[in-house]
Amino acid sequence: MSAKLLMPKATAVWLVENTTLTFDQISEFTGLHRLEIKGIADGDVASGVLGLSPVQSGQLTAEEIKRCEGDANAKIKMVERDLPEVKVRAKGPRYTPMTKRTEKPDAIAWLLKNYPGMSDAAIGRLLATTKDSIKAIRDRTHWNIANIKPQNPVLLGLCSSRDLEAEIGKIRKSRQVVADQTEYVDEETGEEAAPQAAASGEHNPFAAALAAYAQAAQKKVLNEPTAESVFGSAPAADDDSDEE
């Protein structure tokens, strides 16, 4: 079948109740399993489903039903329609019920309070609101700012927890990138630390202790007294004694 059957279960109920077609014929036509068709005939399946006539819906002709009733091996053919294919509309802005629209300012205030790093575009995408509304609430110039109370948008039903977590994850990821690009300077030497160590943020206490010990040892060696500092430098030998 090139076209899709409308309401296959209701159609199968009607065919079972009003025709003598076999279970296999109805199963192949509706796309349901043969045992499910048998369950409909026995009253175990779809007991509360109202049958839909495929003849009235224009999906099947009475002549086609009679032809297949006379031949148990015949396959039911759906009526071919010349109607154009339905075009899939592009995804537009999410619809928000009227009862929920008054709660959007509360959700915006909650996001601005708990996630100040979230951009206006992310908030607008999450709550299907405008940048002007977000700016007015942030600057506290909203006409109803005195009655706005921050509330979780997930609990208000304005967005799903999955969408909220996705936006929060983007904020954390951007912060991590900024942290990795920040220059880290060693406090003792004043030199820039290695990018790998700065990015990892790891601190090795053993290495730090070893470096401090080596620095102290170097200072001790430099400050120890020498023979020259205690007894003075040796006198220079006379040239005359060398000649004798």
Per-residue pLDDT of 109-118, as tens digits, reads 999 999 998 9
Q: Does a structural domain hold residue 35?
A: yes
Same domain assignment for residues 177 and 121: yes
DSSP 203: -
Which residues pair with residue 192 across a beta bridge? 185
Coil, helix or strand at residue 242: helix
* Residue-number span of the structural domain to which 165 is assigned: 98-181
Most confident of 85-99, 133-147, 225-239: 133-147
Band (pLDDT 50/70/90 cuts) for residue 150 is: very high
pTM above 0.75? no
Q: CA–CA separation, 43 vs 64, rounded Å?
A: 26
Band (pLDDT 50/70/90 cuts) for residue 25 is: very high
Q: List Cα–Cα distances, 168 to 108, 117, 176, 219, in angstroms.
A: 14, 9, 13, 51
Domain count, the chain: 2
Of 80-94, 114-128, 167-181, where does mean pLDDT reach its minimum? Answer: 80-94
Q: Counting every residue, how long is the chain?
A: 244
Q: CA–CA separation, 60 vs 58, rounded Å?
A: 6
Q: How far is CA 205 from the centre of its chain?
A: 38
Q: CA–CA separation, 232 vs 73, rounded Å?
A: 124
Same domain assignment for residues 160 and 106: yes
Same domain assignment for residues 109 and 175: yes
Same domain assignment for residues 169 and 117: yes
Q: CA–CA separation, 40 vs 209, rounded Å?
A: 81
Query: Is residue 34 within 8 Å of residue 27, measured between CB atoms?
Result: yes
Q: How far is CA 154 from the centre of its chain?
A: 15
Of 32-46, 168-182, 184-198, where does mean pLDDT reach its minimum? Answer: 184-198
Most confident of 1-10, 81-90, 221-230: 1-10
